[in-house]
Amino acid sequence: MGDGRNHAGPINHGRPFSNDEYPGKDITGHDDNKQYYPPDNGVPQPADHYRGQANAGHLYPSQDSLRIRWPVFAELHDIMVIDDPLDASSPAKPFQASDGRFHQVAYSAVTNPPCSSLEVGVDCLGQYAEETFGYCECEFADEEGAEGACTCEGVYHEPKPIGVMGKGKEGAVTIEDVILTLSPYLRSLKDDILRAKSYHLDPPLPPETRFYAGPMIYASRFRVFQDKGESNQINWELAAQIASKLHNTPRELRK
């Protein structure tokens, strides 16, 4: 993008974006004629089923979700979508075009198989809560999972996860649903995320530190990692490896 950061490969500015890529939906819209990935995995399931499937290793990111490059505190047009989830260096286009239309990937299911609702927290905040509670010596210190009961100074309390309700085909949670729900949630937690990521650092990270979400991988806690320029490619290659593995896995093993 010309700013020294590795966003996901070259952006195609050489031609207008097609209507197939940006189907002309507004920020809350949904195109019922769009096909969702994967098209034949059955009816979306509620959050409790989702968690059970994830714990059993039966729920995976959709291929389209692995195309997302999301700087978490940025605007929607700063989120990028690579063309090929199997190629981390493939060309990228903005999630939201200059005229407000969303990339077609917005209307794809975020998980495989699709689910109808999710509860999502932030990984580093959960870790931060566990670490600060680990140094506590109050009456709850020896009780597993008792962080929420502790009121000692210096102990961080993880925010409640946010619910994401599916508005896509057959009620599936789409990439649009996740991004539009989590973007304001993550912005509201910016100071907390900075503190959590700075917990073992001296000096702490500056307020302008840039973070990315993901790779967008189906966990009940959302992963956030620091933007480190070229080093980001390690994370994007990981997403491509996951996409490749899922792409080559027989469908019956992915259900």
pLDDT at 149: 59
Q: Kindly report, residue by residue over 191-201, the tens digit of the pLDDT.
A: 999 999 999 89
Boundaries of domain holding 135? 47-253
CA atoms within 13 A on the CB side of 240: 16
Is the residue at 206 inside a domain? yes
| Mean pLDDT within 113-133 | 86
| 26/134: higher pLDDT | 134
pLDDT at 29: 34
Q: Kindly report, residue by residue over 17-53, the tens digit of the pLDDT.
A: 445 666 644 333 333 333 333 333 445 555 555 455 5
Is the residue at 30 inside a domain? no
Is the residue at 19 inside a domain? no
Is the residue at 34 inside a domain? no
CA pair distance 214, 54, nearest whole angstrom: 16
Is the residue at 198 inside a domain? yes
Is the residue at 140 inside a domain? yes
Is the residue at 246 inside a domain? yes
* DSSP letter (8 states) at residue 79: -
Share the mean pLDDT of the chain: 74
Residue 19: is it exposed, middle or buried by C-beta count within 10 angstroms (0-12/13-18/19+)? exposed
pTM of model > 0.75? no
Q: How many domains does the chain have?
A: 1
pLDDT at 17: 41
Is the residue at 14 inside a domain? no
Nearest Cα to Cα of residue 96 among 23, 38, 172: 23
Nearest Cα to Cα of residue 5 among 232, 229, 251: 229
